[in-house]
Structures are given as C-alpha cells and as structure tokens.
C-alpha cells in the first residue's frame, strides 16, 4: 500500500506555529506525570497441568455469551438484526468506471473509480440471510453435507455464512489465496457439496474440476457480470452452477423453516495454511466464536452503533471473522474495502479519486503487522524525501510525542497533542479517513517500534492482540489505556492464559524477574480440534479435571507484573547447536529485520553445526542505491545479489544490528545468501498474514542452505 501521498505539499509550518510550539511544549512538560501501574490481569488457580495462570482483572467469571440467549452465531446475528433493524449494517462501493493503464513496459494495471458506500440495513441483511438459507435448501443442497466459502471479503460472504448457520450447516472456509492443492485437499477432506465463490474464481475451479469429486453445486457472487461463459459451464457440466441472486430469489419466493444449531454444533471448519505440508481444518463450535466475540466486545471502550469499521482483511482469517462478529453485535456499520483500494494512493485507485478509507471514515480497523510495517516505511520515506524544515519539524514533533507517551496519556493527548495534530499528524491521520480511534493488530508479533510509530502518527492506540485459529482468536488483548508497546495485553475475559515451564528450552515459571513458559489457553473459546486428525488434536489439546479445554500454543511468553503477556519466542523456532547453545531463530530474525537492507530473512540452524546461516531477501532499492554509490557494476538485480561485495555489505549491516540487539556471537549468521525474488503468499513462502513458512522456504532453498554450510 502507498501511504506516501500524505506528505505531498508541506504547507504546515510557519513562525507563528513555531512560537506556539515552544510555549505549549514548556507548559505541558510541567504537567507530565506518571500514571500508577494498574493491574490488568490477576493470577488465578485453575485445573490442568501446573503453571502460572492469569485471568482478566475485570471479570472473575469467564464470559461465554455477548448477551443472554446469544449462544450461537445464528442467535447472536438474529438478536442484533432485530435490535438494530433500522440501522445501516453492511456497505460496499459501486464501480463507477474501470480502466487499464500501461506502465510503458507492456504491463497493464487496472484502475478503479469507486463511488460512495451503498448501505443495507440490519433488517434488510437479515431478510437476505433468511432468503439465502431457504434458497440453499430449495436448490437441493443436501443438509447432511457441508458448504464452503471461497472468496474475498464482501457482504455476501457474511450473508452466506449466516444463511448456512440458519440451516445448521457447517461452513468450510478457505483463504482465497490458498494454492490449488490446498483447496482440493480441504474440499475433499470435508466432503463439501456446495461451494460458494467469487465469479472470478470460477475459472480457477474449472482447472481442477475433475479432482473436486464431492462438489455438486456452485453458487457464485454475480456482480451484474455476464452469465457464466458457456465454454466454462460445458467444462463443468456435472455441476449445477447458480448465481447468488437466483438462490436468494428462490428462497424469498418459497421460504423454508430454519433448523437452528445449538451451541456445541460445529459452525466453521477453518483451514489455515499450516507452516508445514497441507493445511489443517480447525473445527470451531458456535460457542467458541460467540465466546471470543463476547470478550472482545467488552474490551473496546464505548463501542456502539456510532462506530464504523473498515473491513478489508480476509474473512477466512479468524481475526477478521471475530472482528466482524463483534461489530455486528455492536450494531455498527461495516464498510467493505480491499488492500488494493484502501487509500487514495493505493494501487488500484484511479489517480484523483478516493480510496476506501477516505470515503468511509472508519473509527475502527483491524490490521496485521506486515501492513503496519509498510505504513511506517512509507511515511518515513516520504518524510526523508521531503527533507529540510519539514523533516526536522516532523522529527521534533515525533520525539516530543514519543517522550510524552512513555510518560503518560496526559502528555500524549493534552493541549500539545492538539497542536502537533494540527501541524503534523493530521496529514498522516487523514490517509485513513481522519476518524480512526483505534487500530487492532493481531496475527503475528508487531515490533514495538512500528507500534509506537503508527500509534503516534495516527494519534490513536494500536492495540495488540494475541490469539490463534485454534483458540478462535481468543487469547490476550491490550487495554486501550495501556501506552506501553511490545506486549499483547492481559487475557481476554473469555479465557485463562497459563504459562507452563519448558525445561528443555530453559523457560520456567519460576524465572526472575518474570515467570516464563509455554502459553496455554483455556476456556470456551478453545476449539474442538483438527478435522479428521485425532492424533494431532490430542497432541496439542487437553481437557482438565473440571472439563475445561486447553490449547498448547507452542509460543513462549512471560507475564509482566501488571498481568500483561509478552510473546518472547516460539518453541519450534528454537534449535540446540552442536555445542549445546540454544538459539532462537525468530529472535535473531526480528533483530536482523532492523537492517535497511533486509526485506525478509530466514535464519537456519543445523543442529549438527556450531553456527547458524541466513537467507536474505534484500531491498532492491536500498541495495542498488548502495551499489551505484560504491561504483559496483551489475547487469540486473539477480547478478548484484551474487556479488561478494554486496554480500559483504549486507553482512556487515546485519552484524551491526545483531550487536545493537545484544545477540551472542553464535547467534549472528556465519554466512548469508542474498535472494533476488520477494517472498509472497502466492509463492507459498509466507502465509497470507505474511508469516514466514519456514518449512516451505527450507524446501525451496535446500541447495542454497547446504552450500552455506560448506
Ligand atoms: C479424496 O478423499 C478420499 C478419501 O476420503 C481419497 O481416497 C481421495 O484420493 C481424495 N481425492 C483427492 C483428489 O484428493
Ligand atoms: C446440527 O447438525 C449436526 C451435524 O449434522 C447434528 O449432529 C446436530 O444434532 C444438529 N443440531 C441440531 C440442533 O439439530
């Protein structure tokens, strides 16, 4: 995403402002006071394996439902729709015009001009859900089989999901960016008979038609597109292919009574791209999803129907599914967008027209670390390119607010803050519409630097959360009032978090100054396990003597004295070298990422060796700039990556970062290999949330890794 345009035109300084700055700076320095540490989590006694357990400080009993009677996703939805029937619910933007522009190298880019948001009320959406539910049965879907949704996020995604729930169908969800094999595997394993998908994915399906043996019906989202190509439908002649609007019409004209589920019924089988091999399907019961939603609802202060949520992450990701469920409970507006159309300067937005955020003006957004990292880099680059007084002023303002935030909220949000907003930060804030009051971040660890940076620039808390698909996103969630960074907050009020000692790895609950250990999550949000994989389920799920389910996350954490969790490591990422030193791959990677040269890095350690090595995807821009300055000639980037000088240059930069992060000598990669091609979800080397898929990278670059150890 391009967040750069905010700094175009630096009309925000002047002598008057400067004088005012000095005055207000002085005044607010005097007022800066420390807030007393508040306990956010409380230690508690629980069953199961001994450990150090914590619960949310505000609730002594674990939450299970968002409101009385909302024990299933279907009931929760119906309640909210009835309560908020006249309010706007889901919105999308109509395409006003579409054009293709060429970049001169023969590549074509689609540019969109999108209109205002068009809204449907809660009442209208509920009616559509009921129609779809009836239509599905009328269409001949066998209610003893499953349905799957394979699409980007959009209103029809939620409508299909809730429609299926009203007939007690289990919905299989699959990332739209998942590879072919994974798709075939998930649909076949769960015996899906009805597949609900985007029009544009039909082609992809026809290519694997003969291998999708259980599928009988296809329902596609018809955005006024032409009917399905007759060649395409001939190719898939055994399937009944129906437009979504037809199914709704069918159900509207002949309603069928609903078959509502109970709380222990399985709502969703969510396929997550595992870091190894084929994806695993996590079985989520209705009660798991509603428990997580109930908990999140209580930790977002003043959430209500005046809030607006910008939905652009995949709904096939548990973070987004739970977030949208929470927003529905609160009766607010959900506007759909996409990463490619998010801001005015996003790739697919036609120059001079508006991105999703500036039209919607959201108050809440969910995001993942990779996106925030890009925001930060974009803003910093723009500031540096502008240079001069604007850069100095930005850095000064940033420094002031940084100090203020390390002190207290008063300093951060007092009079001085208003001033800085006026002269500097509103520019950045306006990229996201200007009304953001919080950004929720989950999916992977976010660096403290980035968290603070975005926090300061957007002028709203960046709330870190921790949860997994297996715990239905339940886990930890930072308090809005917590100004620290690098932690994921206290337990959500739907679960306990317990640390269990891992002696082998050297993490103990008796560690000083803070207890450490493997993070184990217990409570109603803990899911039923992996579909068709009892072996794997039994390995990581346990039920205690009180009947509570616990999930062993494999993540290592520690509890701060105020009850907040910090993720410090991953069990899988710790390797014991030949001389007995433990090294943490993730920790080293996080340290090396700080180098300007690094876009992506994977550290690898062979337990039979005494050192580690690394594969580095360098920043093309930064490395080429260095090469030009250093007078190094190269034909193309790939050749540059192979040059010894380039490798040496990157390596000395890594050494510097390793030193800054206090890494031990054996933690610095002894040798590195520069790889010219970026790692993308499409290449299968990182997940859709841009997390490194270690096994896949290892397999792809097996030869390179071997050479590094020669
Ligand atoms: C589908 O699953 C069945 C077992 O349920 C298996 O025998 C078959 O090989 C699978 N087909 C594909 C295409 O994976
Ligand atoms: C919902 O469907 C599941 C699986 O088909 C079934 O076991 C369960 O009894 C159903 N629930 C109700 C309330 O009928």
- Tell me the best of 146, 172, 180, 213 to mutate to test the pocket of ligand 1, counting ligand atoms within 8 Å of each CB and taking the most: 213
Of ligand 2's listed atoms, the one at least distance from the Cα of 144 is: 5
Note the pLDDT of residue 381.
75
Note the pLDDT of residue 650.
96
Note the pLDDT of residue 3.
35
Closest ligand relative to 189 C-alpha:
1
Closest ligand relative to 283 C-alpha:
2
The domain spans of the chain are 2-37, 44-62+366-434+436-570, 73-363, 577-708
CA of 544 to the centre of ligand 1 (A): 35
Class assignment of domain 73-363? alpha beta
Q: Which residue has the tokens 């993942």?
A: 368
Q: Is the CB of 143 under 6 A from ligand 2?
A: no
Note the pLDDT of residue 374.
75
Note the pLDDT of residue 20.
55
CA of 346 to the centre of ligand 2 (A): 45
Note the pLDDT of residue 125.
98
* Cβ(150)–Cβ(183) below 8 Å: yes
CA of 208 to the centre of ligand 1 (A): 14
Note the pLDDT of residue 337.
96
pTM: predicted TM-score of the whole model, two decimal places: 0.83
Note the pLDDT of residue 338.
92
Q: Is the CB of 188 under 6 A from ligand 1?
A: yes
Residue 241: name the closest of 202, 273, 275 by CA: 202
Note the pLDDT of residue 12.
43
The three-state (H, E, C) secondary structure of 316-385, written as one string? CCHHHHHHHHHHHHCCCEEEECCCCCCCCCCCCECCCCCCHHHHHCCCEEEECHHHHHHHHHHHHHHHHH
Kindly give, in sequence order, each residue whose CB lies less than 8 Å from that of residue 346, ignoring residues fewer than 6 positions away.
1, 2, 339, 340, 355
For every residue of 451-487, DSSP letters joined together read HHHHHHHHTS-EEEEEE-GGGTT-EEE--TT----S-
Q: Is the CB of 168 under 6 A from ligand 2?
A: yes
CA of 451 to the centre of ligand 2 (A): 44
Of ligand 1's listed atoms, the one at least distance from the Cα of 214 is: 1
Protein residue whose Cα sits closest to atom 2 of ligand 2: 168
Closest ligand relative to 260 C-alpha:
2
CA of 71 to the centre of ligand 2 (A): 15
Do the strands 240-243 and 146-150 form a parallel or antiparallel pair, or are they unpaired?
unpaired
Residue 145: name the closest of 178, 187, 176 by CA: 187
Closest ligand relative to 213 C-alpha:
1
Instruction: Give per-residue pLDDT as tens, 579-590.
Output: 778 888 988 998
Protein residue whose Cα sits closest to atom 12 of ligand 2: 261
Of ligand 2's listed atoms, the one at least distance from the Cα of 261 is: 13
How many Å apart are CA 123 and CA 358, to the nearest integer? 27
Q: Is the CB of 211 under 6 A from ligand 1?
A: yes
Low-confidence ranges of the chain (pLDDT < 50): 1-17, 29-35, 408-412
CATH, domain range 44-62+366-434+436-570:
2.30.38.10
Question: Helix (H, G, I), strand (E, B), or coil: what is residue 281?
Answer: strand
Closest ligand relative to 267 C-alpha:
2
CATH, domain range 577-708:
3.30.300.30
Of ligand 2's listed atoms, the one at least distance from the Cα of 259 is: 14
Of ligand 2's listed atoms, the one at least distance from the Cα of 262 is: 13
- Tell me the best of 145, 192, 261 to mutate to test the pocket of ligand 2, counting ligand atoms within 8 Å of each CB and taking the most: 261
Q: How far apart are the first and last CA of the chain?
A: 40
* Cβ(166)–Cβ(74) below 8 Å: yes
Closest ligand relative to 208 C-alpha:
1
Note the pLDDT of residue 293.
98
CA of 169 to the centre of ligand 2 (A): 8
Q: Is the CB of 261 under 6 A from ligand 2?
A: yes
CA of 240 to the centre of ligand 1 (A): 22
Q: Is the CB of 184 under 6 A from ligand 1?
A: yes
CA of 164 to the centre of ligand 2 (A): 13
């Amino acid at each position: 995403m391009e967040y750069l345009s905010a700094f175009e035109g630096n009309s925000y300084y002047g002598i008057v402002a400067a004088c005012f700055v000095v005055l207000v700076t002085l005044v607010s320095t005097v007022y800066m006071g420390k807030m007393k540490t508040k306990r956010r989590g409380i230690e508690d006694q629980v069953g199961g394996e001994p450990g150090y357990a914590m619960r949310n400080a505000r609730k002594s009993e674990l939450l299970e439902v968002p409101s009385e009677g909302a024990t299933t996703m279907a009931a929760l939805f119906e309640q909210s729709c009835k309560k908020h029937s006249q309010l706007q619910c889901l919105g999308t933007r109509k395409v006003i015009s579409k054009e293709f522009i060429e970049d001169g190298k023969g590549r074509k880019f689609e540019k969109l001009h999108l209109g205002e948001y068009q809204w449907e009320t809660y009442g209208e959406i509920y009616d559509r859900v009921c129609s779809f539910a009836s239509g599905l049965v009328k269409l001949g879907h066998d209610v003893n089989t499953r349905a799957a949704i394979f699409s980007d996020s959009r209103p029809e995604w939620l409508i299909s999901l809730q429609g299926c729930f009203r007939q007690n169908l289990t919905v299989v969800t699959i990332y739209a960016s998942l590879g072919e094999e994974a798709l075939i595997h998930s649909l076949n394993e769960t015996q899906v008979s009805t597949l609900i998908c985007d029009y544009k994915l039909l082609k992809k399906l026809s290519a694997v038609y003969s291998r999708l043996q259980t599928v009988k019906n296809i329902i596609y989202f018809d955005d006024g597109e032409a009917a399905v190509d007759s060649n395409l439908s001939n190719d898939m002649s055994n399937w009944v292919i129906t437009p979504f609007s037809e199914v709704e019409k069918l159900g509207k004209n002949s309603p069928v009574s609903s078959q509502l589920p109970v709380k222990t019924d399985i709502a969703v089988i969510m396929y997550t791209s595992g870091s190894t091999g084929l994806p695993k399907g996590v079985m989520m019961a209705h009660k798991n999803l509603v428990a997580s939603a109930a908990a999140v609802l209580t930790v977002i202060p003043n959430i209500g129907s005046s809030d607006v949520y910008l939905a652009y992450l995949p709904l096939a990701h548990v973070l987004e599914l739970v977030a949208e469920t929470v927003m529905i409970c609160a009766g607010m507006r959900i506007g759909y967008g996409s990463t490619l159309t998010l801001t005015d300067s996003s790739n697919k937005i036609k120059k001079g027209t508006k991105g999703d955020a500036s039209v919607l003006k959201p108050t809440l957004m969910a995001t993942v670390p990779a996106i925030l990292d890009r925001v930060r880099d974009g803003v910093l680059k723009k500031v540096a390119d502008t240079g001069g007084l604007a850069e100095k002023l930005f850095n000064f303002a940033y420094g002031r607010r940084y100090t203020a935030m390390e002190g207290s909220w008063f300093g951060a949000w007092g009079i001085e803050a208003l001033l800085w907003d006026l002269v500097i930060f509103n520019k950045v804030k306006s990229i996201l519409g200007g009304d953001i009051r919080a950004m929720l971040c989950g999916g992977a660890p976010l660096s403290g630097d980035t968290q603070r940076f975005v926090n300061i620039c957007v002028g709203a808390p960046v709330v870190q959360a921790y949860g997994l698909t297996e715990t239905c996103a339940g886990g930890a969630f930072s308090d809005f009032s917590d100004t620290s960074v690098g932690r994921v907050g206290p337990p959500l009020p739907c679960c306990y978090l317990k640390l269990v000692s891992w002696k082998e790895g050297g993490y103990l609950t008796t560690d000083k100054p803070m207890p450490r250990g493997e993070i184990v999550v217990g409570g109603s949000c803990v899911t039923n396990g992996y579909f068709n994989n009892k072996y794997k389920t039994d390995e990581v799920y346990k039920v205690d003597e009180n009947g509570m389910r616990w999930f062993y996350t494999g993540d290592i954490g520690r509890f701060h004295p105020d009850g907040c969790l910090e993720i410090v490591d991953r069990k899988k990422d710790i390797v014991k070298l030949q001389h007995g030193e433990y090294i943490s791959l993730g920790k080293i990677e996080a340290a090396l990422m700080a180098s300007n040269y690094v876009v992506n890095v994977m550290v690898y350690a062979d337990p039979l060796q005494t050192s580690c090595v690394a594969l580095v995807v360098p920043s093309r821009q930064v490395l080429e700039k260095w090469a030009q300055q250093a007078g190094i000639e190269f034909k193309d980037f790939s050749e540059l990556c192979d040059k010894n000088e380039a490798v040496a240059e990157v390596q000395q930069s890594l050494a510097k970062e390793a030193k800054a992060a206090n890494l031990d000598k054996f933690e610095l990669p002894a040798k590195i290999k520069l790889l010219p091609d970026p790692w993308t979800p499409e290449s299968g080397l990182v997940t859709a949330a841009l997390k490194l898929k270690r096994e896949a990278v290892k397999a792809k670059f097996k030869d390179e890794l071997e050479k590094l150890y020669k």
